[in-house]
Structure 1
Amino acid sequence: MPRIKPLPAELDSSVRQLVVRLRELKTHGELTMRRLAAGTGYSARSWERYLGGTSLPPRAAVEALARITGADPVRLLAMHEIAAASWDDRRAESAEQPRPTEPAPTAPPASPATAPPPRRLPHIALTTGVVALTVAFMAALLLVLRLGEDVAPAAVATSAGTTATAPPHSYTCRITRTDGRWSAGINNGRDTEISYGDTGADVAEAQCLLRRAGISPGGIDGMFGPLTLRAVKTFQDRAGLVVDGMLGPRSWKALRG
């Protein structure tokens, strides 16, 4: 697993505390960026920014990470709320900082012999006003361009968040026993090999059968995450099988037996 880069020195303490906690959950759950993306619905590149401290993760991303790692979502979301408030304050301060403007050019002092006649004063005032107006317009244009750069990533993050906040698929266990084999009625009796990071009906079937065997895999959500991995290893150990965390033919046979 690649080493995570140090956080930026200027990062706010509340944001730093949140990012450090998210890194700990990723490490504890032995999650690669690919598995993190598959489990939360956010891309690996987005998680690189979140865990690198260059972008604040959306609330839904933090909640999804808590779900797949078995962490307490209440405490994690409270940390995110504090970090989000600090993050927004920093952005507001950055946007409100005054930008330096060029001083209006001043005419060199004229000697009494070369002083312009009074009729030229309006022309000088008009020139000075045009220069000042141009400087103000350029400053406003730079501000708009910078705000546009800040809004674009936010729009992308919002779009990703809208997709990721869709509720996970739920399954219902219908435990039956036919011809000496247990079934949960989800994957039509398949014994497909599955492992950490897989999703779908085969995982949900295994979760139901693990629960029937008295071992909790977490929720019946069809996601082979840390809790399901721990349940599979516990079952394999009890059944005298090789404890590799993968459900192959022998493990399926023991589950259905």
Structure 2
Amino acid sequence: MPRWNALSDELDPSLRELVTRLRRLKDRSELSMRQLAARTGYSVTSWERYLGGRSLPPGRAVEALARIGGADPVGLLALHEVAAEAWAARRAKGPAPARLSAGERTGPAAEREPAGPAAPAEPPAPVVTATAADAPSTGRALHVALVAGAVALVLALSAVFLLVLRFHPDSGATAATAPLPSAAESSSPPAYTCRIERTEGLWTAGINSTRDTEVSYGDVGPDVAEAQCLLRRAGISPGGIDGMFGPLTLRAVKDMQKKSGLVVDGMVGPRTWKALRG
């Protein structure tokens, strides 16, 4: 189990809670970063940012990790929406005030900074009577700052609305507003269907008929899907029929081996295949 670095104290509590839960699911899955990237379609670098609290993970990444860890994704997605609002509000803060010149600084900050070389004395400026047109420039700067803040707030609210629309279960615009990442599309596992039947005294799921191919933790493909279907037929749940030999499938194989009096090594070899098909 990896030792996680401490999260920044500046993180919003909702984002801190989200990252903490995702770290627990990652530890529970016993997957390496490379295996996690292969299972979800998000790169190792992306997961390092997400689990380090340096970047807000996409909702689909949160859902994928929840399903891998055997957790209900609904609660995590609700927490993700709250964290997304806090993240958007933080990024939408107005620009920092303009830096004052050395002659305009006052207070402790001005006392800490050494003054530059004294400027040569200039002759006094002629006295000019102020008119209504000579309004102070600070009023205009304040107006610009207020307008910029209002625009930033509108953008933040729009971003939050789109996020809520994207992940709301009743929304029909999910496909139009939130296309799947291309990496996730290309790495999505194929769909397998169990067609359980008994042929010549042996059980088969209709995916393949292997009897001696060894599959173990971390393997993927139709051999794993066949074993998952036969485990489910035997009354032992391996999780989803996705062709991925993950933690849930490993536990199911060990339970089946223990039930059948076999060596409990978590690998599906000739003896385990015989017990599954017998």
> TM-score scaled by structure 2?
0.69
Residues 60 and 164 in structure 1, CA contact (< 8 A), matched pair in contact too: no
Residues 60 and 161 in structure 1, CA contact (< 8 A), matched pair in contact too: no
Aligned residue identity for 1:164: A
Q: Does 1:194 align with 2:215?
A: yes
Residues 183 and 189 in structure 1, CA contact (< 8 A), matched pair in contact too: no
Deviation at 1:178, TM superposition (A): 2.5
Q: What's the secondary structure of 2:203's corresponding residue?
A: strand
Partner Cα distance (1:213, 1:43) in 2: 36
Aligned residue identity for 1:10: E
Residues 214 and 268 in structure 2, CA contact (< 8 A), matched pair in contact too: yes
Matches within 5 A, 1:197-208: 197-208=218-229
Residues 23 and 51 in structure 1, CA contact (< 8 A), matched pair in contact too: yes
**Equivalent position of 1:52 in the other structure:** 52
Q: What's the secondary structure of 2:198's corresponding residue?
A: strand
Partner Cα distance (1:32, 1:170) in 2: 24
Residues 250 and 266 in structure 2, CA contact (< 8 A), matched pair in contact too: yes
Identify, as 1 or 2, the structure richer in helix.
1
Residues 211 and 274 in structure 2, CA contact (< 8 A), matched pair in contact too: no
- CA deviation string 1:29-85 (max 9, x = no partner): 222212212221212221111111111111010110111111011111111111111
**Equivalent position of 2:76 in the other structure:** 76
Report the number of matched residues. Answer: 217
**Equivalent position of 1:97 in the other structure:** 95
Deviation at 1:103, TM superposition (A): 4.6
Partner Cα distance (2:257, 2:24) in 1: 27
**Equivalent position of 1:20 in the other structure:** 20
Deviates more, 1:83-92 or 1:99-108: 99-108
Partner Cα distance (1:29, 1:99) in 2: 47
Partner Cα distance (1:237, 1:249) in 2: 16
**Equivalent position of 1:110 in the other structure:** 123
Q: Does 1:223 align with 2:236?
A: no
Candidates 230, 248, 252, aligned match of 2:269:
248
Structure 2 alignment gaps of length 5 or more: 105-118, 127-177
Deviation at 1:160, TM superposition (A): 8.3
Residues 211 and 270 in structure 2, CA contact (< 8 A), matched pair in contact too: no
Residues 173 and 184 in structure 1, CA contact (< 8 A), matched pair in contact too: yes
Residues 40 and 164 in structure 1, CA contact (< 8 A), matched pair in contact too: yes
- CA deviation string 1:156-181 (max 9, x = no partner): xx998343257542111112222332
Partner Cα distance (1:16, 1:192) in 2: 44
Q: What's the secondary structure of 2:9's corresponding residue?
A: coil
Closer, same or farther: CA 32–175 of 1 in aligned 2, 3 Å:
same
> TM-score scaled by structure 1?
0.74
Residues 59 and 80 in structure 2, CA contact (< 8 A), matched pair in contact too: yes
RMSD: 3.2
Partner Cα distance (2:184, 2:55) in 1: 17
Partner Cα distance (1:172, 1:160) in 2: 24
Q: What's the secondary structure of 2:244's corresponding residue?
A: coil
Candidates 235, 241, 246, aligned match of 1:214:
235
Q: What's the secondary structure of 2:181's corresponding residue?
A: helix
Residues 211 and 273 in structure 2, CA contact (< 8 A), matched pair in contact too: no
Residues 37 and 43 in structure 1, CA contact (< 8 A), matched pair in contact too: yes
**Equivalent position of 1:4 in the other structure:** 4
Residues 182 and 255 in structure 1, CA contact (< 8 A), matched pair in contact too: yes
